[in-house]
């Protein structure tokens, strides 16, 4: 037989069972609901921020369209592009431009080679591979002139090497550096 509980023991055990039941209800139902609400509040706040950004962007569309229309009306800066009606003429212009630039800066143009056009490019480009013998000061002036001049050219595969002197007169006349680079220009419309 089970011993019977006193009134205080009975009340204490009932109170403990009630607290335990309330704790289980809190842990199983209320706490996950609070966590879900906090997560949903965070998502709502992020969505509201995104909505505000998109609303501001949509409000600016007419302004951007007006600016684009003004740019289309403005005359093109043809000096930034290579002229010529074909790829061959644009390549010849690029070659002539680089040759005159290099000679003006006392460089010795050794070789030039027109690179085959890439078919995967969105813009038509003319690429010319150049090899030059020059001195340090000439190198600086040539790179600066290409960077700041017109037409706009992109330089790629730039390689600068010190040359071995085979003769004293040859090395001082043409410089002590060897420059290889690929200059890429964009033909005009």
pLDDT in tens, 50-60: 999 999 999 99
State both tokens at 126.
């003319």
Strands of 40-173 (E only): list them.
108-114, 126-134, 153-162
Residue in 163, 159, 182 with CA at minimum distance from that of residue 173 = 163
Strands (E), the chain: 108-114, 126-134, 153-162, 177-185
Q: What integer pLDDT is reported at residue 150 of this predicted model?
A: 87
Mean pLDDT over the full length of the chain:
87
Beta carbons within 8 Å of 109's beta carbon, 6+ residues apart: 98, 99, 102, 103, 130, 131, 132
Least confident of 114-118, 125-129, 143-147: 114-118
The residues that bridge with 177 in the sheet, in sequence order, are: 134, 162
pLDDT, position 170: 47
Tokens for 134? 């020059």
For residue 103, name the pLDDT band (cuts at 50, 70, 90): very high
Look up the pTM and report it. Answer: 0.56
Whether pLDDT at 116 is above 80: yes
Residue percentage of the chain with pLDDT more than 70:
90
Model pLDDT, residue 117:
75
Per residue in 159-176, pLDDT (tens digit) is 999 987 665 544 445 578
Beta bridge partners of 129: 113, 182
Reported as a single tens digit per residue, the pLDDT across 63-86 is 999 998 988 888 766 778 888 778
């Amino acid at each position: 037989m089970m011993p019977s509980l006193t009134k205080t023991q009975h009340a204490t055990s009932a109170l403990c069972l009630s607290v335990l039941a309330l704790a289980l209800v809190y842990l199983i139902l209320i706490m996950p609901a609070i966590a879900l609400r906090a997560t949903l509040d965070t998502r709502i706040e992020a969505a509201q921020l995104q909505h505000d950004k998109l609303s501001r962007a949509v409000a600016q569309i007419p302004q951007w369209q007006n600016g684009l229309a003004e740019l289309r009306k403005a005359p093109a800066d043809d000096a930034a592009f290579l002229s010529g009606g074909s790829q061959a003429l644009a390549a010849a212009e690029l070659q002539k431009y680089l040759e005159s630039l290099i000679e003006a800066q006392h460089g010795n143009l050794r070789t030039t080679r027109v690179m085959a056009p890439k078919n995967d490019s969105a813009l038509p480009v003319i690429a010319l591979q150049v090899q030059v013998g020059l001195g340090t000061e000439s190198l600086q002036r040539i790179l600066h002139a290409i960077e700041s001049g017109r037409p706009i050219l992109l330089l790629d595969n730039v390689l600068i090497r010190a040359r071995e002197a085979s003769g004293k007169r040859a090395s001082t006349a043409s410089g002590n550096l060897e420059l290889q680079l690929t200059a890429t220009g964009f033909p005009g419309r």
